Structure 1
Amino acid sequence: MSNQVNFEQLANVMGDGVVISDAKGDIVFWNAAAERIFGYSSSEALGKSLDIITPERFRERHWDGYKKSMDTGTTRYGTTLLTVPALHKEGKPLSIAFTVAMLTDASGKVTGIAAVVRDDTERFQNDRALKKRIADLEAKS
């Protein structure tokens, strides 16, 4: 058995979304779990900007961070889980948690970012409801 791993096969059987974007922020890889999470088929997402999953009010901050990562070749979200709002194809809000990896060419120049994404919407909503319940109970005492 070969020690080589077929990336596309691995990515397409993962339960987490794998989204890879190029240096401009255009989607170049979109696995089956990303289809399930965001509602866009691979053919709909490929070649599109990450704006399709970024809520409009967060786009400026997103692109500022993206450009900084492209310019510096670093990100603090390689090992730190980032939880942010996202957008489903149907317009419904999502909460996603993800880590990213910087992709480089042979010379070390950054060529894109790979994100491993999990839909965190249910946990986020449960946490928010629990916090509201605690606040309501504290207000009554």
Structure 2
Amino acid sequence: MTSSIDSIDFGQLVRAMGDAVIVADASGAIVVWNAAATRLFGFSEAEALGHSLDLIIPERQRSRHNEGYAKTVDTGITRYGSSLLRVPALHKDGHTLSIAFTVALLTGSQGQVGGVAAVIRDETARFNDDKALRRRLAELEQVAARSAA
């Protein structure tokens, strides 16, 4: 008996996702870039495919990212398959985004990591709201401390 999952076109699924889906090969070159990734980062699929993930990684985070990426590919271990990673990212026009994502390791028949898939969401508005709330809380704590003194 064939399940209905056998007939799913996973390319269609990736294209239809509301969240950005990016897949990079073991070297970090982008091999899948959906329409939501274009909306989020501003680069067209043609502009992104074949390029390094550095395209969307702020320069000050690139070294750390590349070290972590290489380690993940070498070991086949990541904690971000189930834990959300929140980091800054770059838009094509140069402005910074706050993104959250999880990853899936794509492995070959021998278990070697051949690529990494990421499902990414823009959390810039939430990040800015949280930052404003923390700032307001700090202000209120200062007022309360002065009043208590």
Classify the TM-score, shorter chain. over 0.9
CA distance in 1, matches of 2:126, 2:4: 39
Name the counterpart of 2:21: 18
Name the counterpart of 2:105: 102
Name the counterpart of 1:119: 122
Q: Which of 81, 84, 98 is the matching residue for 1:81?
A: 84
Name the counterpart of 1:140: 143
CA distance in 2, matches of 1:108, 1:5: 24
User: Which consecutive unaligned segments of at least 5 residues does structure 1 have?
Assistant: none
Q: Does 1:59 align with 2:62?
A: yes
CA distance in 1, matches of 2:4, 2:119: 25
TM-score w.r.t. the length of structure 2 is 0.92
Q: Does 1:70 align with 2:73?
A: yes
TM-score w.r.t. the length of structure 1 is 0.97
Residue identity in the other structure for 2:57: T
Identity %: 59
Residue identity in the other structure for 2:91: H
Residue identity in the other structure for 2:68: G
CA distance in 1, matches of 2:27, 2:94: 24
Which of these two proteins has the greater Rg computed from alpha carbons? 2
The Cα of 1:108 is off from its aligned counterpart by 1.2
Q: Does 1:39 align with 2:42?
A: yes
Residue identity in the other structure for 1:64: E
CA distance in 1, matches of 2:96, 2:32: 22
CA deviation string 1:84-111 (max 9, x = no partner): 0000000000000000000011121110
The Cα of 1:12 is off from its aligned counterpart by 1.0
